[in-house]
């Protein structure tokens, strides 16, 4: 069968978007498809595969699968891309909520291009679920060194390490050690290395669980880094987070002591291309 898709990017996080509201693809095949289609250089290539489904309570639901076929509860940049994809797929609302495995996510579409495939980027703001499982400044032993880390779940788990020399970090090597560390087992963690520039600006590099490599951006990682830097007194909202792609994500939130509420992630969304591919091995 022929699968229609749209390739999109949110601050450098790239995704394959599929409208499956008519259940053309059985959900049991989502993981297999993600591993097949997300492979770089030999397939479409992406950080993840996102399916737009009909929701159980709301009109829309997001299912997100990493490049390795594992399913994640949600993806911040992926939600932003999905909001634009849904709009140009006929859901003509600029403010709505959708279902994810991390809970309901509210989205607001700002600037939109006149058509889906455009040189202009869209701007999308999403309200993320309240962060959970805060752990500040704990020691983490890695081989022959011990590092200081903090942890926050912003829809998916994130470990954050602050550093003054971000460019020198071996993200893939050190990130992989932390991602699979027994402290975070069995689910593991995403890993973010962060340099604080000033009270409203930080730079970030992220090792993403499921991609198993450094990615150009991570929305929930940027959110975790901004919030943790605020709790530690290093920044205050709004925080602009510069990603490896060069794109900047803005994080807004309300803080009362260590309690965080009203978390918003804002950034650009770009359509890379529209395409179709044959997926004969998928049985429907």
Q: Is the pTM of this model over 0.85?
A: yes
Tell me: the pLDDT tens digits for 222-250? 999 999 999 999 999 999 999 999 999 99
DSSP alpha helices (H): ranges in 39-75?
Answer: none
Averaged pLDDT, 119-126: 97
Instruction: Indicate if the pLDDT at residue 37 is higher than 90.
Output: yes
Out of 3, 18, 25, 75, which one is annotated catalytic? 75
Residue where the block lists tokens 């920044």? 235
Q: For residue 218, indicate whether it is catalytic.
A: yes
Task: Please enumerate in sequence order all residues whose Cβ is within 8 A of that of 28, keeping only pairs 6 or more positions apart, or say none.
Answer: none
Averaged pLDDT, 124-152: 95
Bridge pairing between strands 71-72 and 95-100: unpaired
pLDDT at position 64: 98
Contact between 61 and 98 under an 8 Å Cβ cutoff? The reply is yes
Out of 211, 218, 269, 271, which one is annotated catalytic? 218
Can the peptide bond before residue 238 be classed as cis, meaning omega within 30 degrees of 0? yes
Whose CA is closest to 67, among 111, 14, 135, 114?
14
Instruction: Indicate if the pLDDT at residue 281 is higher than 80.
Output: no
With pLDDT > 90 as the criterion, what percentage of the chain qualifies?
94
All domains in the chain, ordered by first residue:
2-127+270-278 (3.10.310.10), 132-265 (3.10.310.10)
Gap between the terminal Cα atoms of the chain: 9
Which of 28-37, 116-125, 256-265, 273-282 shows the lowest per-residue confidence on average (mean pLDDT)? 273-282
Q: Which band of pLDDT confidence, cut at 50, 70 and 90, is reported for residue 280?
A: low
Residue where the block lists tokens 């992926």? 78
């Amino acid at each position: 069968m022929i699968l229609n898709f749209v390739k999109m990017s949110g601050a450098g996080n790239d995704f394959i978007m599929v409208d499956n509201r008519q259940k053309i693809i059985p959900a049991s095949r989502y993981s297999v498809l993600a591993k097949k289609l997300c492979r770089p250089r030999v397939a479409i290539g992406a950080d993840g595969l996102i399916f737009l489904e009909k929701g159980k309570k709301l009109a829309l639901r997001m299912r997100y699968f990493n490049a390795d076929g594992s399913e994640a509860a949600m993806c911040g940049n992926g939600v932003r891309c999905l909001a634009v994809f849904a709009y140009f797929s006929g859901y003509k609302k600029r403010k709505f909520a959708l279902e994810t495995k991390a809970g309901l996510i509210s989205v607001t579409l700002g600037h939109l291009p006149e058509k889906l495939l455009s040189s202009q980027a869209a701007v999308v703001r999403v309200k993320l679920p309240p962060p959970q499982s805060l752990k500040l400044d704990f020691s983490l032993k890695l081989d022959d060194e011990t590092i200081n880390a903090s942890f926050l779940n912003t829809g998916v788990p994130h470990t954050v390490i602050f550093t003054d020399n971000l460019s020198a970090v071996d993200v893939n090597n050190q990130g992989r050690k932390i991602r699979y560390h027994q402290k975070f087992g069995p689910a593991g963690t995403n890993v973010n290395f962060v340099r604080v520039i000033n009270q409203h600006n930080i730079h970030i590099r992220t090792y993403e669980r499921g991609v198993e490599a450094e990615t150009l951006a991570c929305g929930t990682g940027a959110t975790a880094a901004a919030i943790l830097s605020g709790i530690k007194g290093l920044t205050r909202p709004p925080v602009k987070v510069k990603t490896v792609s060069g794109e900047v994500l803005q994080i807004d939130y309300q803080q009362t002591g260590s309690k965080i509420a009203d978390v918003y992630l804002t950034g650009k969304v770009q359509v890379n291309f529209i395409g179709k591919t044959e997926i004969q091995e998928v049985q429907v």
